[in-house]
Structure formats: structure tokens, C-alpha cells
């Protein structure tokens, strides 16, 4: 049964992912369960199976979790989904599926405006990861379409034995570094490949946040940090709340507050708004920023069920094996789930599912900061003794800055040869 939801088709008509991200940010205060458009980001959970043993997640304890066949994926992507500009492959551990490149290849034709792809992995399965990424990149090279960037996001929750301890496997950190080395080599062959890191912050590693950040800087990698997300569904870790969470007022909580406050002060992307919000939540406050998952982003689980976000899998919007996407997305069932999500989960959620600027103030502030950074880079090139680069035309990379980058403010990194437009710059260009 369809609800009386007012569909906003404006976002579907915008020319680029950057334009959609910016327009969504500006429109955020006016998006409600009764008035919204289609998602531009899809998180595709290809399996719940996992060979890590993480302290903060119980997914690996699930035995014989079902997986969709390739024919079921063909049926699921039987109709075009032109609103999707960004596709994230995740799990569980997605590389455990030997047919992962085939799933990517099946989804691509149904996503004609896809500009950005990401594989989220633990990095434990070194050769399997590198082999699968190579196949996917070869597929893209043969038929790039509108795709401009493919990223591999590798988890890093500590240095050396700390990462091994949190992930539950001896030698895990060493395998992650081998995966990162392999991806760096692979990027030389496929320039559209990028590698980034993600780090889950908890009492066991709060004292290593700066070391983890330094590791990312040394390798020139983007990284984002987020506290453990406590949920009874996706990660199924509520039973370990006392061990994984930060008790407001405790010494560990104060350390975490200081760490996220420092991250916010240093960062020049929309992540700083998220970090600032997390710092306040660690003091016991409710979330102040609007999350647009369930409105501009969705999760498609390993069963075909569609959910608003990974944290709220109590109420499904519907199943893509049984219904069309629009029927699911604009249904009464989905509208009710969105109401319950915003009322029940959002106020206490520390997840970074939606990393972009929300609200006019954040969008404008982010644009001003990026404009300042680009001006500084330009001045730096002009003042260099060898300023031959001035006469060259910079390459335009419309994906840069769509995914917040916490490494770009570090002066220890080599100066980029060219500056890239942000998603705000691209959106402004479309208005000229």
C-alpha cells in the first residue's frame, strides 16, 4: 500500500553526485517522512558471514547465514535505479563471497548514473581482497560509464597488537598493512582507485587515536573515526554496552570527548560537524544534527530487505525480491519506519552513516573552508620557484571531497599537483 508521501523528484534531475549531496544538505530541514525524494546512496550488504572476531560486533558469531544467489541479485536489480549515484559493498566481510565482482557487475547496469563505488573490508583476506578489487577495476576500465571513483575502505582500530586484540586475531595488523601495500601498488595501474581507513573508537583504543591518525598521515590516506555504535540489530552488541561504551563523566569518556573535539578542530570537511556532535553526545547530550539515512540513503540487506540505515533494522521497508524499489520506498510501511527511526534511534545514534553536510549553515561553512583551502593551494603554486604548473589546465575530479577526508589539513603531506573542485563547487557550477 502506497502512502500519501509527497515525492520530490528534483534531486533525481541534478547532473552530478556532488550537486545532489549539496542540494540534499540544503534541503535537510524540510525533509520529512511525508516529503522526501529517492536515495542517492545504497549500502549493499552482500553477506553477514565474517572471519574476523571483533570485540564490538557479533556478526561473526552468526552461523550459516544465508546469501542471495547471483540469479536473485539479477532479479533484485531487474529495474533501473537512476537515483543511485553511490554504491557501497559491505558485510559481514564482503570479500568472503568469491562472486563479489559478479555482484558488482550485475548491479552496474541498473545504476546508470553511478559515479562512486566503495568496498568496505577488514583487510584480513589480503590476496582475496586484491584479486577481487583487480577484477572490479578491470570491469570498470572496460566500461566506465559515469563512474569516476572506486574506493576501498579498510578498518584500522589500533596499531600492532591493539588492532589484533580488538579484531580478535593475532597478526591482523600485519595483514592489514600488506593489504594497504597491495592497494597502493594497484592504484598505480588504476588511477581511479583510492584507499581510505575507518576506525572504531572504544575504551580499549582511545589512547591510540593519535597513533592511528599518524599512521594514516604517513601513508597519505584519508581516515574517519566513530565511536562504537551500540545496536540490537546490525552489530548485535548491546550485551557489551558497559565494555564498549563511554560512561559520561568517566576518565575514558573525557579522553574520547577531547579526542573528538580535537578532530573537529583540525578537520576541514563536513566530518568536523559530526565530530563536534559526537563530542557533545559523549557528555550525555542527544544528537543535534539531522541524519538523512532513510531519506537519501538506504541499506539493502543480504536477504533483499530494504532498511533506512544499518542501525535501524527493526522495521523493513520491504523486500526487493518481491516489490519494486519505488513501491517499497514510498510505502506506508516505510513512512512509519522513518517516524520510528527519528523518534527512537536518531537521538542517541553516534553512527556516521551519512557523512555529508546537513543544513544551509554547514553547507555554506564547508564551501567557504574549501574555497579558502583551494586559494591557499593556488597561491602556494604561484609562489613556488618552478611555477610551470600555472600554465597547465588542472584536471577536474568531481568525486574529491564527496567523502569527507580528515587527512587534507595535515601540512606534512606533499602538496597536491592540482586542486580539485568540491561537491559544493560543482553544485554552484550547475547554477551558472
Non-local CB neighbours of 83 within 8 Å, separated by 6+ positions: 11, 12, 37, 38, 39, 40, 113
CA dihedral 257→261→264→267, nearest 10 degrees, is -110
Contact status, residue 195 vs residue 149, Cβ threshold 8 Å: no
Contact present, 353 and 297 (Cβ < 8 Å): yes
The whole-number average pLDDT for the span 31-39 is: 97
**Each residue's pLDDT tens digit, 357-384:** 999 999 999 989 888 888 988 898 898 7
CA distance 154 to 125: 11
- What pLDDT does 65 receive? 86
Q: Which residue has the higher pLDDT, 63 or 96?
A: 96
Percent of the chain with pLDDT over 70: 88
The predicted pLDDT at position 58 comes to 84
Average of per-residue pLDDT across 96-112: 98
Q: What is the pLDDT of residues 189-234, one digit of tens each?
A: 999 999 999 999 999 999 999 999 999 999 999 999 999 987 777 7
Please report the pLDDT score of residue 412 as a whole number: 36
Residue pLDDT, tens place only, 225-280 = 999 987 777 777 767 777 888 888 899 999 999 999 999 999 888 999 999 999 99
**Residues 299, 284 contacting (CB under 8 angstroms):** no
Instruction: At 261, list the grid cell.
Output: 573535539
In this predicted structure, the answer to whether residue 188 has a pLDDT above a threshold of 80 is: yes
177 has a pLDDT exceeding 50: yes
**Whole-number mean pLDDT of the chain?**
88
What cell numbers appear for 185 in the block? 601498488
- Reported confidence tier of residue 422, pLDDT bands at 50, 70, 90: very low
Amino acid at each position: 500500500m502506497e502512502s500519501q508521501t509527497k515525492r520530490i523528484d528534483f534531486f533525481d534531475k541534478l547532473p552530478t553526485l556532488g550537486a545532489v549531496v549539496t542540494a540534499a544538505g540544503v534541503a535537510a530541514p524540510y525533509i520529512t517522512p511525508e516529503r522526501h525524494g529517492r536515495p542517492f546512496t545504497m549500502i549493499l550488504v552482500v553477506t553477514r558471514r565474517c572471519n574476523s572476531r571483533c570485540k564490538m560486533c557479533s556478526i561473526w558469531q552468526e552461523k550459516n547465514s544465508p546469501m542471495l544467489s547471483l540469479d536473485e541479485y539479477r532479479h533484485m536489480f531487474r529495474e533501473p535505479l537512476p537515483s543511485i549515484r553511490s554504491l557501497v559493498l559491505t558485510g559481514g566481510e564482503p570479500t568472503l563471497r568469491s562472486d563479489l565482482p559478479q555482484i558488482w557487475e550485475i548491479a552496474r547496469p541498473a545504476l546508470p548514473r553511478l559515479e562512486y563505488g566503495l568496498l568496505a573490508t577488514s583487510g584480513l583476506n589480503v590476496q582475496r581482497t586484491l584479486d577481487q578489487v583487480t577484477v572490479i577495476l578491470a570491469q570498470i576500465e572496460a566500461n566506465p560509464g559515469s563512474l569516476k571513483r572506486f574506493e576501498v575502505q579498510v578498518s584500522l582500530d589500533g596499531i600492532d597488537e591493539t588492532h589484533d586484540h580488538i579484531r580478535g586475531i593475532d597478526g591482523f595488523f600485519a595483514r592489514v598493512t600488506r593489504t594497504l601495500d597491495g592497494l597502493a601498488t594497484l592504484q598505480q595501474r588504476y588511477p581511479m582507485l583510492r584507499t581510505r581507513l575507518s576506525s572504531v573508537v572504544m575504551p580499549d583504543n582511545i589512547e591510540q587515536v593519535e597513533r592511528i591518525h599518524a599512521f594514516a598521515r604517513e601513508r597519505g590516506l584519508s581516515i574517519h573515526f566513530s565511536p562504537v555504535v551500540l545496536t540490537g540489530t546490525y552489530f548485535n552488541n548491546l550485551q557489551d554496552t558497559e565494555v564498549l561504551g563511554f560512561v559520561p563523566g568517566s576518565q575514558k569518556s573525557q579522553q574520547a570527548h577531547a579526542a573528538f573535539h580535537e578532530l573537529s578542530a583540525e578537520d576541514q570537511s563536513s566530518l568536523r560537524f559530526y565530530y563536534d556532535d559526537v563530542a557533545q553526545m559523549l557528555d550525555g547530550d542527544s544528537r543535534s544534527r539531522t541524519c538523512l539515512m532513510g531519506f537519501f540513503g538506504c541499506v539493502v540487506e543480504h536477504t533483499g530487505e530494504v532498511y533506512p540505515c544499518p542501525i535501524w533494522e527493526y522495521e523493513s521497508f520491504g523486500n526487493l525480491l518481491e516489490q519494486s524499489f519505488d513501491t517499497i520506498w514510498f510505502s506506508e510501511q516505510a513512512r512509519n519506519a522513518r517516524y520510528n527511526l527519528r523518534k527512537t534511534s536518531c537521538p542517541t545514534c553516534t553512527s556516521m552513516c551519512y557523512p555529508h553536510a546537513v543544513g544551509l549553515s554547514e553547507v555554506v561553512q564547508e564551501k567557504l573552508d574549501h574555497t579558502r583551502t583551494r586559494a591557499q593551494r593556488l597561491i602556494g603554486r604561484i609562489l613556488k620557484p618552478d611555477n610551470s604548473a600555472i600554465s597547465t589546465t588542472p584536471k577536474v575530479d568531481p568525486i574529491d571531497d564527496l567523502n569527507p577526508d580528515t587527512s587534507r589539513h595535515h601540512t606534512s603531506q606533499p602538496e597536491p599537483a592540482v586542486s580539485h573542485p568540491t561537491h559544493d563547487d560543482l553544485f554552484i557550477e550547475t547554477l551558472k
